[in-house]
Amino acid sequence: MKGAFLVNPNDIRLLEQEVPEPKYGEIRIKLNQIGICGSDVHLFLGHRKLDKATIIGHEGVGIIDKIGEGVEGRNIGEKVVIEPNFPCFKCKHCMSGHGNICINKRILGINEAGCFAEYVVIPANFGWEIPSEISDADAVTIEPTAVAYHALMTSKAKPGDTIAILGSGAIGLLLTHLALRLGYKVFVTEINQEKLNKAVEMGAIPAVATGNLEEQSQVLEKIWLENDVCAVFECAGSPFTASLATDAAPRGSEIVLVGLSEKNATFRPLKIAREGITIVPSIIYDHPFDFKRVIQLIASKIIQPSMIISSYEPLSNISAALERAAQGNESKIVITV
């Protein structure tokens, strides 16, 4: 089979290798669509290092091609979406219901062969059957939608409340779409005009601020305070926006950290403590609940996450697709096999 191995930063190669065989409790997926995630772009650019050349990618959709021993209730030809983070279910975090921060977590495209390939092998319980009424386009966006859903459910904000979202990349747009469809009022802040326009087209309200940290903070703090924003979701994943969120958050609100910046941000402890602001982390999703609920929301036609897809590219053009994704102008590029 062909697999896209990230050999070095900016060096991804489509190489031939043997088709993987499913072991006990595993299924093999013949992939047909894979979404490019921001984390794939960071790996491609060398912002995060892998221990060895690895097939990256984790937002995969395909059909079950082969079933390993010990797997029951699955069928050849069944359409599935992949949940790509596999907790160990044995560590103290898993045992306390926090598998999303499992210390032994197996991750497709990081420490296991990923989805930018013709086939991938996964534990059977992490291949979710897709109902016939869900299109491949919606299916391939289920994984990032689960990230957005988990973030929204992590917050204490409820339908009818007003929230603010910093950053309208794929996760920010999905969070915007999800929140609006579930009855929240949403303010969005985004420097890319096309992405901001997309969020506004969904029904979000733009909150535009320019200048340095202090100047932007003053503008957003006024808008958020006047509109009773109770939760601020940082989705841009930059130290500037994380600092901006903590600086401008209204009294008594929450800050939900969804972005994955590895660089230091700043905040004023006095403001956080004196104004009763809560900082809440949100990382990936809870197994099995979040994927199940997102699939139900799509099947019920409440949400349509495929609206974030901006273009398609064949697997043979994976390098060019990653380069284009790195420019930051596309909301979601999907690779076809």
- Dmax (CA) for the chain in angstroms is 61
Q: What is the pLDDT of residue 128?
A: 98
Give CA–CA dist 328/330, Å, rounded. 6
Report cis status (omega within 30 of 0) of the bond before 281: no
> For residue 4, what are its two tokens?
């896209």
Per the DSSP assignment, residues forming a β-bridge with 80 are 62, 129
Q: What is the pLDDT of residue 134?
A: 97
Confirm if 246 and 269 have CB atoms less than 8 A apart. no
Give CA–CA dist 278/256, Å, rounded. 8
Place of tokens 């930059």: 238
Per-residue pLDDT tens listing for the chain (337 residues): 999 999 999 999 999 999 999 999 999 999 999 999 999 999 999 988 898 999 999 999 999 999 999 999 999 999 999 999 999 999 999 999 999 999 999 999 999 999 999 999 999 999 999 999 999 999 999 999 999 999 999 999 999 999 999 999 999 999 999 999 999 999 999 999 999 999 999 999 999 999 999 999 999 999 999 999 999 999 999 999 999 999 999 999 999 999 988 899 999 999 999 999 999 999 999 999 999 999 999 999 999 999 999 999 999 999 999 999 999 999 999 999 9
Instruction: Look at strands 79-82 and 54-55 and give their pairing.
Output: unpaired
Q: What is the pLDDT of residue 136?
A: 96
Sequence-separated (6 or more) residues with CB below 8 Å from residue 88: 94, 102, 103, 104, 105, 106
- Return the CATH fold of 145-281: Rossmann fold (3.40.50)
Buried b (16+ CB within 10 A) or exposed e, 69-98: eebeeeeeebbbbbbbbbbeeebebbeeee
Element holding 278 (H helix, E strand): strand 278-281
Domain positions in the chain: 2-140+309-336, 145-281
47 is catalytic: no
Same fold, 2-140+309-336 and 145-281: no
Q: What is the pLDDT of residue 260?
A: 85
Confirm if 167 and 190 have CB atoms less than 8 A apart. yes
Q: What is the pLDDT of residue 34?
A: 98
Please report the DSSP string for 153-193 in residue order. Answer: HHSS--TTSEEEEE--SHHHHHHHHHHHHTT-EEEEE-SSH
- Return the CATH fold of 2-140+309-336: Quinone Oxidoreductase; Chain A, domain 1 (3.90.180)
Q: What is the pLDDT of residue 166?
A: 98
